Amino acid sequence: MYKFRCYFTYHDNVQRLNRALESVIDQIGEFSSEEKPIVILNNQAQDIAHLLTIPLDKVEIIDSPIPILLPEALNWIFKLAYQNKEPWAMWLHTDAILKPGAMRDLINKYEYVKQNNLQWGLIYECNQAFAIFNSDAIHDEQLFYDAWLFPMYYMDNHFHRILAIRGYPEYLTDTPNLVIHEVSHRLKEDGGLNRRNSLAFGLHGQLYCAIHGGMPGRETVTDRTLGGLYPFDPTKVGV
């Protein structure tokens, strides 16, 4: 058993949230020693407890005092996991469903990385909808999702890239297709968000290029500060 929780960030569509929760509840009971192994960061100004279809005694709901962006919610998750001394911060998209064996596959990969003394930043399945993050490394390096630069798209690329530059690469799980993921459902359902994305997507791509010297997969910049964006003190991280 491991001392960890699975975190969710909820914005809308409680039916999708419940499907994701139901797919997790049996599997997490096999691995987590926590009394309440599921945490939901509720980004809506309304109570959702009465809408959930899993046992409430297994869930902690944390209401955000104001609406926050996804990268800010994830940074909050990293802080919660670190403070709770969890070996990782586990996150599942609310538009994803775990198939049987998905959590075991993810944890098995963590054990492989740990047993081989490999540095790591995050481990995820092929759809990137189910992942664990190295919250210790994130805390030690003081590297978080940068909501100021990338509030939505390119946020993952940017965050993963800077972790890799600092020596914390990402790893894929070994078994594909254990997670069902509906892509970009919020863009399809939220006209205002869709409009914002259509205005900003290309500009964020240009910004990513300016910072990293190329688009995702073609980056050339290896400066650990990314041109002074993030301070780096090797004495604090043992490099």
Q: What is the CA radius of gyration of the chain?
A: 18
CA pair distance 156, 151, nearest whole angstrom: 10
Tokens 């960030």: give the residue: 9
Q: Locate 75 and state its tokens.
A: 């940074």
pLDDT tens profile 192-237: 777 888 888 899 999 999 999 999 999 999 999 999 999 876 665 5
DSSP string for 75-94: HHHHHHHHHTT-SSEEEE-T
Are 169 and 163 spatial neighbours (Cβ–Cβ below 8 Å)?
yes
Which residues are CB-contacts of 101 (< 8 A; sequence separation ≥ 6)? 175, 178
Tokens 């469903």: give the residue: 97
Are 52 and 21 spatial neighbours (Cβ–Cβ below 8 Å)?
yes
Are 89 and 132 spatial neighbours (Cβ–Cβ below 8 Å)?
yes
pLDDT tens profile 98-131: 999 999 999 999 999 999 999 999 999 987 899 9
CA pair distance 90, 34, nearest whole angstrom: 13
pLDDT tens profile 44-67: 888 999 999 999 999 999 999 998
